[in-house]
Amino acid sequence: MNQSLTEIGEEVLKILKEEDRFQVVTHVFPDGDGIGSSLATYKLLKNLGKKVQVHIDSTVPYQYQFLPQAQVLTERVLPEVRARVLIVLDSSDLARIAPCTQEMEEFEYIINVDHHHHNSQFGHLNMVDPGASSTTEMLFYLFWEKVEIDYDMALCLYTGLVFDTGRFQYANTTQRSHHMASHLIGLGVNPNYVFRNVYENQPPGVLDLYARALQRAHFHRDTGLIHSYVKLQDLQDHSLSFSVSERVIDFLRSVRGVTVAAVFKEYEKGYRISLRSTGDQDVSKIALSFGGGGHPMAAGFEWHGEMAACLMRLQQEIQRQPKSK
């Protein structure tokens, strides 16, 4: 018999309280929801007196360096501290997580907490709710009235919520999202403080980067796709981090007539492609066809080849996928 989310949540809380050694991971190229949920879970477990290892596969994006304990995400993970429980946050598949220090079979429990609707149910416990706006929203309602949510946790949870709801503008924003935000603000979170750090904290040189990307933008009217790209050299010219290119896609998505916006972001192994939908296409299905994943309105994948070949296939996938409405 299938367990309800409430029953799974009770089992998850039981493990969090009874076990003593944990490893926490999220997906590669972590975003606000992945980082916020990871740090909130880390702080909860530390508050409970547990041994916790949490790390990401990159430096902490500048937008999230203000979060409490953000430095632990890049600390050296000690292999001699063997965790019994692996907590995987905001990842639809084990293939997309940051590397673990242990083999999967070494964990007594793998807890999968996620809101992607293509989640592969890889955990011993799968707390997966595609109806949730974010993984941080899921954690909030898991913790709420059952464990203490302190200010540090509240700040991390709120930041993840703001990011994955597009500042409460995306279609995944619900009454539960606003209820969560209200409660966290009541715990002391300052919405303007979060907004300024995440969205108005751009490093010098970002305007030139945006200018280059917007000059390269091309609108394919036959498919409704608009795309641009950011070269590795663009970032190096101004000593910019990879995460600074996140905002480019928001400009492209806002153009009238666009169905899908795509930004090709070059890195050492190829390209990381971000996709956004304006509502007519489920971009998670498109990303899935490339081995990626995400949400109907926001998704992504990696490409280890020529950008032109990827762009051609991307347009074919857009034409092949049925309209969302």
pLDDT of amino acid 223: 94
CATH number at residue 216: 3.10.310.30
pLDDT of amino acid 101: 77
Q: Do 253 and 299 fall within a single domain? A: yes
Last residue of a domain, one of 167, 199, 231: 199
pLDDT of amino acid 1: 44
Into how many domains does the chain fold? 2
Q: Do 52 and 129 fall within a single domain? A: yes
For residue 325, is it within any domain?
A: no
Q: Do 86 and 124 fall within a single domain? A: yes
Residues of the chain with pLDDT under 70: 1-2, 77-81, 324-325
Name the helix (H) or strand (E) containing 160: helix 151-164
CB 318 within 8 A of CB 260: yes
Phi, psi of 160 (to 5 degrees): -65, -40
pLDDT of amino acid 293: 85
From CA 174, how far away is CA 171, in angstroms rounded?
A: 8
Last residue of a domain, one of 142, 171, 199: 199
pLDDT of amino acid 3: 81
Considering Cα of 200, then 202, then 204, then 208, what sign does the dihedral take? negative
Please give the model's pTM, rounded to 2 decimal places.
Answer: 0.90
Per the structure, the complete domain to which residue 101 belongs is given by 5-199
DSSP tag of 29: S
pLDDT of amino acid 109: 96
